[in-house]
Amino acid sequence: MCLSGQGQLWRSSFTINDTIMNHFIYSLSMSAGLVLCGTTNAQTVLLFANDFSSPNQEIVGNCGPDLDATLVNTLWGGTGTGTGGGGLWAQQFTVETILINGPSGQYTDTEAIGGDFCVSMLSTINDDRAAFTLDCELLPFVNLYMDVSSIDLAACGGPFGLAQPSFHVSVYDTPSGVFDFGSLGVLLDEDTLFGVVPSGDPFTFTWSSVSSGLSVAGSSNGMITVVLDVLSSPYMALDNIQIEASVIAAGISDHDGATSTLGVWPNPTKGILNIPEALLRERWSIMDNMGSPVATDLRADQGKLDLNWLAQGIYLLHSGNGRAIRFIKE
């Protein structure tokens, strides 16, 4: 059996009610053995993925030890996977590549998450930005997953210092398929993501996995552009990027201890949710998986939201700024 439609069901802005409805429809379809279908036959389409392991040319330390300032599209354009042809990049100012295991031995990756290379951007000296233009195939959501870390440079303008990383991710309508930072187009959705506080060693990676579900239901013809812009941490590294189109918005992180689209962790939680400093003044509400209110006007105490009283299950945590995230109470 197939649940089908013309796509109009999904053409509304991403609100908490959309999240509830999407999860409800998805859960119903899975339990009943249904297949969701619409403008495509797949529930999820991989648009772009890159772990930055196979560059187009040799990467060298041409801007300080173990840092290559060559244009990101020259080094990495077309080297990924997915329907986007491996991904072609646009950049504003500089987007560098770090040699994690480079000959100068500048960096340490104790978790071995980054492999040999990762890309990196400034937030303060220059407003570095990176972008990908992709075809979402008229699916209603684009989901972004990647690993991020605050990191510093020994040269090439550095050192800059460390801070908890955060960045702005936005998605624009690009009906022509050609994106220009000077003329961004119509904004479809945006989000702010947070990584974990760095370890203290400026040249040791402290990775966290982040995700965001962005509504692209307002796309003219499926061509959209995802833009990444570092907000805090003077310098930040990005790796293992995956972008997919789906009928379901990303919500629950797959990594224990990783941050979510609201920057809260861990997810799942046994009772305590950590709240990032930027959101300490927010008032929080909780709804169950069917959208019924469970609690309102909650405040974090010393950066922690105590949910030990909450029964086991899947819930929606809603912040005062309008963002929502599904989380699991174990």
Last residue of a domain, one of 197, 224, 250: 250
| Interstrand relation of 313-319 and 324-329 (parallel, antiparallel or unpaired) | antiparallel
Asked if 97 and 133 sit in the same domain, the reply is yes
- Mark whether 226 and 213 lie in a shared domain: yes
Question: 124 and 203: one domain?
Answer: yes
| 102 part of a folded domain | yes
Whether residues 74 and 206 fall in one domain: yes
Q: What are phi and psi of 156, to 5 degrees?
A: 55, 40
pLDDT one-digit tens code per residue, 115-156: 999 999 998 778 899 999 999 999 988 999 999 999 999 988
Indicate if 152 and 234 belong to the same structural domain: yes
How does DSSP classify residue 312?
Answer: S
- Kindly report the CATH number assigned to the domain that includes residue 301: 2.60.40
Structure tokens at 26: 């998805």
Among 215, 250, 285, the domain-final residue is 250
The residue segments making up the domain with residue 271 are 252-330
Q: Is 90 helix (H, G, I), strand (E, B) or coil?
A: strand
- Same structural domain, 127 and 150: yes
Query: Same domain for 108 and 211?
Result: yes
Each residue's pLDDT tens digit, 205-241: 999 888 888 889 899 999 999 999 998 889 999 999 9
Residue 7 has pLDDT above 60, yes or no: no
Q: Is the pLDDT of residue 327 over 70?
A: yes
My answer on whether 129 and 177 are in the same domain is yes
Q: What's the structural domain count of the chain?
A: 2
- Whether 136 is covered by a domain: the verdict is yes
Q: What is the DSSP string of 283-303?
A: -EEEEETTS-EEEEEE--BTT
4 domain-assigned: no
Same domain? 110 vs 225: yes
- Residue 321: which pLDDT band, with cuts at 50, 70 and 90? low
Amino acid 33: pLDDT? 35
pLDDT in tens, 249-308: 775 333 333 334 466 778 778 999 988 776 777 888 887 755 578 998 898 888 899 999
* Inside any domain, residue 75: yes
Distance CA 72, CA 59 (A): 11
In a domain, 65, yes or no: yes
Q: What is the CATH number of the domain that holds 74?
A: 2.60.120.260
Residues 290, 222 share a domain: no
- 97, 191: one domain: yes
Residues 330 and 325: their CA atoms lie apart, in Å, by 16
- Residue 245 falls inside a structural domain: yes
